[in-house]
Amino acid sequence: EDQVTQSPEALRLQEGESSSLNCSYTVSGLRGLFWYRQDPGKGPEFLFTLYSAGEEKEKERLKATLTKKESFLHITAPKPEDSATYLCAANSNSGYALNFGKGTSLLVTP
Amino acid sequence: GAVVSQHPSWVICKSGTSVKIECRSLDFQATTMFWYRQFPKQSLMLMATSNEGSKATYEQGVEKDKFLINHASLTLSTLTVTSAHPEDSSFYICSAFPSRGSHEQYFGPGTRLTVT
């Protein structure tokens, strides 16, 4: 059974304190690994798609990487506005629906 | 960029009544849309896949007679929660692909349903 597990559940950082969020996945035939940001009461906002091991993508202070078993979302010098829940999702060759992890709730304090 | 809207953004209804939620792709056509449900402090759970011009595909455990999905056009899918009960209170979110060549799904802002 396909599974996506994120850790930690919650993370508190001081502004400027870099860290990484982890997403472990077990998916038969990975079509894509996705990262989304979700603010309270809002729908997920697309960040990245990664398709193959070794791939990396960057956007501002965020960088996503992918191995054969996990993905990392690296946050460099975060700011308070980066506070949100970050969701990881996997898509397998069996269809186009996304299998989401439970998310990491990130709080960045000034 | 790809924009998906939902209406209403929130709704309160009485137990036993039905409520309809609309999901629209504003700047692209979507032959497939997805409906997710999110309970507080939980992640998104796929409910069903909505296909334009054909029947929706429901995930295991989701009652298709309770959650009616209609994908009447390439830009509109609707979810009707029939005979709603308090346990149906949740955050309902739809998503769609902007293009066949991309696997990136773009999500609507969500609809908060409260059943009293």
> What would the pLDDT profile of B44-68 be if each residue is shown by its tens digit?
999 999 988 889 999 999 999 999 9
- pLDDT band for B100, please (50, 70, 90 cuts): low
Scan for tokens 């509109």, then name that residue.
B76
The pairing of beta strand A104-109 with beta strand A84-92:
antiparallel
The number of residues in chain A equals 110
Q: What integer is the mean pLDDT of B70-94? A: 95
Interatomic CA distance for residues A3 and A67, integer angstroms: 15
Nearest residue in chain A measured CA to CA from B5: A43
Contacts of B108 in chain A (CB under 8 A): 43
Nearest residue in chain A measured CA to CA from B48: A97
pLDDT for residue A1:
80
Peptide bond into A8 cis (omega under 30): yes
> What would the pLDDT profile of B66-76 be if each residue is shown by its tens digit?
999 999 899 99
Please indicate if any CB of chain B lies within 8 Å of the CB of A40.
no
pLDDT at B101 over 70: no
pLDDT for residue B99:
67
For B71-75, which contacts have Cβ atoms below 8 Å and span 24 or more sequence positions?
A: B71/B33, B74/B25, B74/B29, B74/B30, B74/B31, B75/B24, B75/B25, B75/B26, B75/B29, B75/B30
Please answer yes or no on whether B107 and A41 come within 8 Å at the CB atom. Answer: no
Q: Which residues contact B39 (CB under 8 A, 6 or more apart)?
A: B90, B91
> What would the pLDDT profile of A63-109 be if each residue is shown by its tens digit?
999 999 999 999 999 999 999 999 999 998 877 788 999 999 999 99
B-contacting residues in A 16-35 (Cβ below 8 Å): 31-32, 34
Q: How many CB pairs under 8 A join A and B?
A: 56
Burial class (CB in 10 A: 0-12, 13-18, 19+), B28: middle
DSSP 8-state assignment for residue B59 = P
Interatomic CA distance for residues A87 and A84, integer angstroms: 10
Contacts of B32 in chain A (CB under 8 A): 96
> What would the pLDDT profile of B6-28 be if each residue is shown by its tens digit?
999 999 999 999 999 999 999 88
